[in-house]
Amino acid sequence: MKRYLLPLLAIVGTLLILNSVVWRHERLLASGATVYLPLAPVDPRSLLQGDYMALDYELTRRVADALQANADQSWPESGTLFVVLRPDAAGVARAQRVSTAQPELLAGEYLLQVRLEYGTQVRLPSHSFFFAEGEGGHFAAARYAILRLSPDGRSLLAGLADARKQPL
């Protein structure tokens, strides 16, 4: 019995950790703030992964441009950046400011954590969207990514939306 105890505890511990991660993500998808980010999709096909859409966010390009424009400020070579978002009149979230520390938010603002790599590349956690084989034409109409945000700026891709912000 003793020789089975350690493997059994390892299995139970692993399942508890995985379930807590899934529960945290499900809770964020259910209750996180919804924002729409404009995107410029690229539509490759991977033989190993199947059909998917690589997502290129307008926001990441604008943040990278802002970092280069403010090169006199000491930005890290890599790490987490905090982007303050504010939805415009059409409900599309736009970057207001970027910080290396979690900033205070004003009314109507949301926080988004992005990853800075190599000093110039800004990435969101969700940079690809997988779909069933043959569904590419349906998702080609995607113009917005629907993100769910936690108060600390963590995000999950909840789906894609068309030009009228209708979920696909």
* Weakest mean pLDDT among 7-16, 38-47, 81-90, 123-132: 38-47
Q: How far apart are alpha carbons 139 and 46 in whole angstroms?
A: 16
Between 76 and 19, name the one with better pLDDT. Answer: 19
Would you say residue 14 has pLDDT above 60? yes
Q: So what's the pLDDT on residue 3? A: 81
Q: Residues 60-69, buried b or exposed e (16+ Cβ, 10 A)?
A: bebbbebbee
Written as six digits, the tokens of 17 are 């950790």
Q: So what's the pLDDT on residue 93? A: 93
The tens digit of pLDDT for each residue in 80-112 reads: 999 999 999 888 999 999 988 899 999 999 999
Q: How far apart are alpha carbons 126 and 159 in whole angstroms?
A: 10
Confidence of residue 144 (pLDDT cuts 50, 70, 90): very high
Contact 52, 129 (CB under 8 A): yes
Would you say residue 41 has pLDDT above 80? no
Percent residues over pLDDT 90 in the chain? 29
pTM: predicted TM-score of the whole model, two decimal places:
0.79
Q: So what's the pLDDT on residue 132? A: 77
Terminal-residue alpha carbon distance, the chain: 53
3-state secondary structure string across 14-70: HHHHHHHHHHHHHHHHHHCEEEEEEECCECCEECCCEEEEECCEHHHHHHHHHHHHC
Q: How far apart are alpha carbons 167 and 49 in whole angstroms?
A: 23
